[in-house]
Chains A and B, each alone.
Chain A
Amino acid sequence: MSLSELSRKKSPWVLHVGTGGCNGCDLEILACLTPRYDVSRFGVMSTGNPKQADVMLVVGPVTLKYKEIIKNLYDQMPDPKVVIAVGTCASTGGIYQGCYAHCGSLDKVIPVDVYVPGCNVRPEAVIDGLVLALDILNEKERKILEEKKTKAKGAA
C-alpha cells in the first residue's frame, strides 16, 4: 500500500448532510463522536465544508426541495469521494416511500456506495459503514487513475 493510499485510509473527513428526516439518525451519528464510540480514532473529522470532505453521510429521505442542494454538494466534493446512505429512509425511502414530496431514495439522486440500514441506525453500524467506505475510497482512486492512463494512451 502506498503512502498516499495509507493516509487516505487514515484520514476520512466527513460531511454530514441531513435531508429532512426525523433527526433520529442524526443523533446516532453525533453519538459516534462521543467518548463511547469515538470515531476520531480512525482520523475521522467532521467538516462542514464539501470542498474538503471525502465521505458524505446522508441522513433522511431526500425531499424534492433538497434534490438540487444535495446534487450541488455532491458535485462540490473533490474526487475520490464516497457517499454513505445512513438509515432506512436514505437507503430505500422507508416509511416515506410513495410520499408526494419525496424522491424515493438517495440512489435515485446521486450514486451511493455504502448502505447502512436501520431505524434508527446504531452507532456501531455507522462506524462499520465508514470503515467499509475507506476501502471503496482507495478503489475509486485506482479506477480514476486507470481511466486517466487509458485516456492518455488514447490521446497518444
Chain B
Amino acid sequence: MTDIDYVTTYGIPLVLLILSPFIGGLLTGIDRKVTARIQNRRGPPIIQPFYDTIKLFGKEDKIVNKTYLVFGAAYLMTVVFSLILLLFRYDLLITTFIFGLSFIFLVLAGYSTRSQFGYVGATRELMQMLTYEPILLLVVFLIRLVTGSFEIGSIYSAAQPLLYTLPLALLAIFVILPIKARKSPFDIADAHQEIAQGPETEYSGKYLGLLYITHFFELFFILWFIGLFFVQNIAARLALMGIAYVFLIVIDNVTARLRVDQMLKQVFIVGMILLIINLIYIIATGRWIPA
C-alpha cells in the first residue's frame, strides 16, 4: 500500500478527535433541552454544558488528597486514548478494554477519597462494570465472527453492514447504553438524590471540569461505537447514532432508577438471550468466518 488516502486515514479522525468534546457538549446540552421540553419546561440553552465547564475552571479548588486527582487525570487520558484508537481504526478488542479501564480509574478515584458517598458510588460503579462489560465483550467477539478480524478496518471492508448480520447484538448494546452514558434507569453510580455524585463527589473546581470534558468524550465514543454498525453509508450511520441518542434521552425520561441487583439480573438476562439468538442466527446462516 503505497498510496494511502491520507484524508480518510488521518485527516477526518483527527478533526473528529478535536471536535469530539464540542460535539459531546452540544449533545449534552440538547439532552437537557429535550428533557426540559418533555417535562413542559423551557430548559437551559443548548450551550449550557460549556457555561458549566468554563465556570468550573474559574472556581477555587478544594482538594482532599492528590491520589484521586491522579486517578481523575488517568480517567480522562484513558477515555481520550480509547477514542483515538477507535477513530484511527485500531484493534476493537483493545479499544474496548481500554475504555473499560477508564471506568476502573473512576472507581479507584472514588475509593481513594475518604467519603462514604465516594465509596458507595465506586462500589456501584464496579457493579455496573460487571454488568455491561461481558455483554460488550461478547458483542466484540460476535463482530470478530462475522468480519474475520478484530481490526476495525475489517468492519469497513466487510461486504455487508454489521446491522444486517448482528441486529440483536445492536439491541444488546442499546440495553447497556444507559449504563455507559450514566442515564436512568441505570444511573445507579451517580444517583445524585441518594449519594451526591458517586465517585465524583469530592471533585471540585477545574478537576470537576476535567471530568465533565471526559464525559463529553465518553458520549462521543459511545455514539461512534454504535455508528460502527452501519459504516457503508454515512447517512445511515448518522441516523443510527441519532436513533441511539434519542432512545437514550427518551428512556432516561420515562424510567425510574433500578436497584443494583435488578439491573444485574435484567441486563444480563435480556442481553445474553439477545446475543445467543444472534449467535445461533450467524452460525445457522453460515455467515461466520473461522480464524
A: which residues have CB within 8 A of B? 3-4, 6-8, 10-11, 13, 34-35, 38, 40-43, 45, 47-49, 51-52, 54, 76, 78-80, 141
Q: Is the CB of B201 within 8 A of A11?
A: no
Is there contact, CB below 8 Å, between A52 and B54? Answer: no
Question: A7-B53, A35-B39 are known contacts; what are 9 more A-B pairs with Cβ within 8 Å?
Answer: A8-B58, A11-B48, A35-B40, A38-B42, A41-B44, A48-B193, A49-B197, A49-B201, A51-B201
Q: When the two chains form their complex, are residues A51 and B62 in contact, meaning their CB atoms are under 8 A apart?
A: yes
CB distance from A123 to the nearest CB of B (A): 14
Would you call A76 and B193 a contact (CB within 8 A)? no
**Given A48-B196, A51-B62, do A38 and B41 touch, yes or no (CB 8 Å)?**
yes
Contacts of A10 in B (CB 8 A): 45, 48, 51, 55
Could you list 26 A-B pairs, sorted by A, with CB under 8 Å? A4-B54, A7-B50, A7-B51, A7-B52, A8-B55, A10-B48, A10-B51, A10-B55, A11-B51, A11-B52, A13-B52, A35-B39, A38-B43, A41-B41, A45-B52, A48-B196, A49-B192, A49-B201, A51-B62, A51-B201, A52-B208, A54-B55, A54-B59, A79-B60, A80-B60, A141-B58
- The distance in angstroms between the C-alpha atoms of A141 and B57, with both chains bound, is 13
Please tell me if B75 contacts chain A, counting CB pairs below 8 Å.
Answer: no
Question: Which of B54, B192, B193 is the most central at the interface, judged by chain A CB atoms within 10 Å of its CB?
Answer: B54
Q: How far does the Cβ of A118 sit from chain B's closest Cβ, in whole Å?
A: 24
B41 and A51 within 8 A (CB): no
Question: B205 contacts A38, CB within 8 Å?
Answer: no
Assuming A7-B50, A52-B208, is B62 touching A41 (CB within 8 A)? no
Do B196 and A4 touch (CB < 8 A)? Answer: no
B50-89 to A contact mask, C-beta < 8 Å, 1/0: 1111110111111000000000000000000000000000
Assess the B204–A41 pair: CB atoms within 8 A: no
Q: B54 near A51 (CB under 8 angstroms)?
A: no
Q: Any chain A CB within 8 A of the CB of B229?
A: no
User: Nearest chain B CB to A86's CB is how many angstroms away?
Assistant: 21
Docked Cα-Cα span, A51 to B55, in Å, equals 14
Residues of A within 8 A of B61 (CB): 78
CB distance from B212 to the nearest CB of A (A): 10
Contact (Cβ within 8 A) A80 B44: no
User: A52–B40 Cα gap in the complex (Å)?
Assistant: 27
- Chain A nearest CB from B218 CB (Å) reads 19
B36: Cβ under 8 A from any A Cβ: yes
Closest to A53 in B: B204
Q: With the chains together, A48 CA to B200 CA distance in Å?
A: 12
A43 adjacent to B43 (CB under 8 Å): no
B99 at the interface (CB under 8 A from A): no
In the assembled complex, which residues on chain B have CB atoms less than 8 Å from the CB atom of A13? 52
